[in-house]
Amino acid sequence: MITRRKFVVESCSACLGLLAVASGASLLAGCASVSEFQATVDNNTITVPLASIAEGEKIKVVRAKQLAYDILLVVGENKDYRALEMRCTHANNILSASNTGLFCNFHGSAFNLRGEVTNGPAMSPLKNFRTTEENNLITIHLK
Amino acid sequence: MLFRLILNNIFAFPSEYLFMKSILFLAVLAFATLESTGQFLTPEDSLNAGLNPSGRNVILSGYGEAKYSYDQNFQTATFNLTRAVLFVGYQFNSKITLFTELELEDAMVDGEGGELAFEQVVLKFDLNKNSYLLAGLFIPRIGIMNENHLPVTFNGNDRHLVEQIIIPSTWRELGVGYYGNSNKIAGLNWSLGLMNGLNSEGIAGPTGIREARFQGRDATASNIAVTGSLLYFTGPFRFQWSGYYGGTVGLTPRAADSLGLNSGAFGTPVGLTEFNVQYRKNGFVFKGLATYASIPDAEQLNTAYASNAAQSMYGYLAEIGYDLFEKKGYPDKQLILFVRYEGLDLMASVPENGIKDDLYKQNYLISGITFLPTRGVALKFDWKHITTGDPNPALIFNPSPNAPPYEPVNNFYQLGFAYSF
């Protein structure tokens, strides 16, 4: 007959094992890099060549010396583009990006790839710059 | 003119309201600064310092929480303004920002309690767009709550008990921290910290290392501590590991020798490690945390201070919650049902000269509901079921003949509100 102690230990071990397997699978799936694109600000716009975005690439960090914060360029399912400022709207901290969203380590705010708040304390969505596409160039309009 | 009138009224307050005067004065000062030179940061400032050479910005924010708590065993209730915090920041330029966080606990400070203290006074130096340095009174990345303790972000009226009792959140010390994230491995973040160590005199069995924190006041710095963390976001998961190791004796070698303690940078050390994981998807939230702390020289501490320090302690928690509004299409509202289980033992092992007390082996089952009518405001109800071991009679030195028997099980029913802006 199984003892209560043994039951608790074995049940917990099984749960932890399942969690470890699920986490491991998720880790392997999500262990991707985010490429950077060095840009310059010209007349309040930034241009990113379409050729710089690899096939299947979902996000790209756009970095310009003139800007205090990077911009996350998000490639939509219909090849539409979204440019999100990587600044937490709660306390202006630098955000960390992954293929599923942006995260702030200061107080735990999280945003999805549309820039919407998915976890507080941030209350406002991320700054979403207007983008246009022409002649194989994506233009990010800063104003 | 308006500010002069307000200031005159503040200073007209009687002297026993000194701390309230301080708070009001700081608040008025912040607003005056905003009116005279600064501005609120808004999303429209997003080009900020990079395209704005002046780069002068004031950040004003805050949070607070209050709690009504009914104690079933004693059949009494208390109502308390647990804390109100004023957060003022100032962006000097695109690379340097000041953050301050001033906290008033229990509404006021007098001989019976309350605390007015800085939780953070830290300068942030952005090294590049992936890393920054913090210098000053800062909160190292240890556990979930230490960094992310805003009351609208956790369920229940109490911060995680494990993260108050074993990990002494909010744990802040003076030092420097290096924080970064990697673009090579998306979602990977790290931190390293160097700060003053703990105070060996404050380490005791019933309170663990909580009373050993200096929290920025006259810290000894010949004993130091290092911390480090790895944090990884992937999909709906957030994983974090962190560690702490530091010396606790900042006395002169002569004084330390006379107490039989080891001084120096890492003398008479304390080590602590924790691992936590969080999962958020489709309205479901899961949090899990485990922590273990070690005080290998607890025997020497007990000889020096008769503090009954433990050699090791541990704690763990698991929480699951579901947002009932997830599929209702209310983007700014949440109605979260949750249940959390926490277990801890402050005296998991004691040295030969220590006396184990099962009173500090505690379990908490907390369940309730958190309603956010809008982001930044939370209304909370929870039921807290506590079980502890029996107190060791060997540690009750003068038992009162009229004392009621200790009840190892109790229930609390708690209502509260919280805000953050």
- Distance (Å, rounded) from C-alpha A43 to C-alpha A108? 35
- Over residues A72-97, the pLDDT tens digits come to 999 988 878 999 999 999 888 888 88
User: In a mutagenesis test of the A interface, which of B56, B60, B90, B148 is the best target, namely the one with the most A β-carbons within 10 Å?
Assistant: B148
Among B94, B184, B233, beta carbon nearest to A98: B233
- Over residues B204-215, the pLDDT tens digits come to 999 999 999 999
Answer for the pair A127, A32: CB distance below 8 angstroms, yes or no.
Answer: no
**CB crowding B190-229: b at 16 or more within 10 Å, else e:** bbebebbbbbbbbbbbbbbbbebbbbbeebbebbbbbbbb
Tell me whether residues B235 and A26 touch, CB distance under 8 A: yes
- Distance (Å, rounded) from C-alpha B412 to C-alpha B384? 5
pTM attached to this predicted model: 0.81
If one compares B59 and A71, the residue with the highest pLDDT of the two is: A71
- Distance (Å, rounded) from C-alpha A88 to C-alpha A107? 10
Among B277, B288, B375, beta carbon nearest to A120: B375
Answer for the pair A17, A9: CB distance below 8 angstroms, yes or no.
Answer: no
Q: Which residue has the tokens 């090294």?
A: B127
Q: Looking at residue A9, what is its pLDDT?
A: 53
A76, B203, B216, B349 from A33: Cα distances, Å: 18, 44, 39, 44
Contacts of B51 (CB under 8 A, 6+ apart): A41, A44, A66, A67, A142
Tell me whether residues B147 and A121 touch, CB distance under 8 A: no
- Beta-carbon count within 10 A of B71 CB: 15
Nearest-CA distance B163 → chain A (Å): 16
Cis peptide before A121 (omega within 30 of 0): yes
Dihedral of the alpha carbons of B39, B44, B48, B53, in degrees to the nearest 10: -70
Phi-psi region of B308 (alpha: psi -120 to 50; beta: other; left: phi over 0): left
Nearest-CA distance B375 → chain A (Å): 6
- Over residues B47-85, the pLDDT tens digits come to 333 333 344 588 888 999 999 999 999 999 999 999 999
Chain mean pLDDT for chain B = 87
Q: Looking at residue B15, what is its pLDDT?
A: 47
- Distance (Å, rounded) from C-alpha A110 to C-alpha A96? 9
**CB crowding A19-47: b at 16 or more within 10 Å, else e:** eeeebeebeeebebebebbebebeeebbe
Whats the size of chain B, residue-wise? Answer: 421
Interhelix angle for B2-11 vs B18-36, to 10°? 170
DSSP code string of B69-88: EEETTTTEEEEEEEEEEEEE
Give the amino acid at A18: L
- Beta-carbon count within 10 A of B421 CB: 16
Instruction: Give contacts of B51 with chain A, Cβ < 8 Å.
Output: 41, 44, 66-67, 142
- Distance (Å, rounded) from C-alpha A75 to C-alpha A83? 9
Look at strands A35-39 and A59-64 and give their pairing. parallel
DSSP code string of B203-267: -BTTTBTGGG--TTSS---SSEEEEEEEEEEETTEEEEEEEEEE----S-HHHHHHHT---STTS
- Distance (Å, rounded) from C-alpha A123 to C-alpha B39? 19
- Over residues B155-194, the pLDDT tens digits come to 999 999 999 999 999 999 999 999 998 878 888 999 999 9
If one compares B28 and B386, the residue with the highest pLDDT of the two is: B386
Answer for the pair B225, B245: CB distance below 8 angstroms, yes or no.
Answer: yes
| Alpha-carbon dihedral sign for residues B131, B132, B133, B138 | negative
Task: DSSP letter for A115, please.
Answer: S
Task: DSSP letter for A113, please.
Answer: T
Q: What percent of chain B is modeled with pLDDT above 70?
A: 87
ipTM given for this complex? 0.71
Nearest-CA distance A31 → chain B (Å): 6
* CB of A43 less than 8 A from some CB of B: no
Among chain B residues, the shortest Cα distance to A22 is held by: B237
Among B47, B186, B376, beta carbon nearest to A99: B186
Answer for the pair B191, B226: CB distance below 8 angstroms, yes or no.
Answer: no
B294: helix, coil or strand?
Answer: strand
- Over residues B225-262, the pLDDT tens digits come to 999 999 998 888 999 999 999 999 999 999 999 999 99
- Over residues B304-318, the pLDDT tens digits come to 999 999 999 999 999
Average pLDDT over residues B372-380: 95
Nearest-CA distance A40 → chain B (Å): 12
Look at strands A128-134 and A81-85 and give their pairing. antiparallel
Nearest-CA distance B49 → chain A (Å): 6
Answer for the pair A119, A137: CB distance below 8 angstroms, yes or no.
Answer: no
Among A67, A97, A118, beta carbon nearest to B186: A97
CA angle A39, A41, A45 (to 5 degrees): 105
Residue window 73-92, chain A: list those with CB within 8 Å of chain B: 85-87, 89-92
Tell me whether residues A66 and B51 touch, CB distance under 8 A: yes
Q: Looking at residue A120, what is its pLDDT?
A: 83
* CB of A112 less than 8 A from some CB of B: no
Answer for the pair B411, B383: CB distance below 8 angstroms, yes or no.
Answer: yes
